[in-house]
Amino acid sequence: MQDRDHTNEQERCISESIAELQKVNKQLAKLLVRKEELTDQIIGALEHDHEGQKSYEYGVWKIEVKTPFVYSLNKKLYESGDIKLPDDFNPIKESVSYSVDKRLCDKYMMDAPKKVRDALAELIDKKPGKAGITIKERV
């Protein structure tokens, strides 16, 4: 009987939490849209129409506006060699990035010799990330 009560309480808690979380997610989506609208209105009213950052004072408020541009490279076209830029006018910098294969890291932390595990522990910091839940309605 006690197991049944616990299961019922657990089901009630989960279903109420899911319902509330769905409502909160819908509210957040609407609020984010409204935030973008208000941001655009303020930037327009301030006539801030350039890239960069500038501070404005309006009454008791200090308004800091940031309007960056995001640059992205058509990597496929660049690497194809169809377009050649002279070195003096090439703003594209090649970079190397490193990433950790989580699956292998966990495996090696269990199976590797102690010396290797110690080296991995020095090189790689593992900490919990932000938890998240996505709830989709079943059809």
- Burial bucket for residue 56 (CB in 10 Å: 0-12, 13-18, 19+): middle
Instruction: Quote the CA–CA distance of 21 and 135 in Å, as a whole number.
Output: 9
Phi-psi sector, 63: left (phi>0), alpha (psi -120 to 50), beta: beta
Q: Are residues 89 and 117 in the same domain?
A: no
| Same domain as 40, residue 54 | yes
> Long-range contacts for 7-11 (Cβ within 8 Å, ≥24 apart)?
none
Each residue's pLDDT tens digit, 114-125? 999 999 999 999
Q: Is the pLDDT of residue 42 over 70?
A: yes
Mean pLDDT of the chain: 90
Are 62 and 124 contained in the same domain?
Answer: no
89 part of a folded domain: yes
Residue 50 above 90 pLDDT?
A: no
Residue the block writes with tokens 């950052």: 53
- Cα separation, 24 vs 46, whole angstroms: 32
* β-sheet bridge partners, residue 53: 66
Q: What interhelical angle do 102-111 and 114-123 show, nearest 10?
A: 140
Distance of CA 100 to the CA centre of its chain: 18
pLDDT tens digit string along 59-70? 888 999 999 888
Least confident of 27-41, 59-73, 109-123: 59-73
Q: Are residues 40 and 17 in the same domain?
A: yes
Domain that holds residue 14: 2-97
The answer to whether the beta carbons of residues 125 and 136 sit under 8 Å apart is no
Q: Give per-residue pLDDT as tens, 86-108.
A: 999 999 998 889 999 999 999 99
Does residue 119 share a domain with residue 69?
A: no
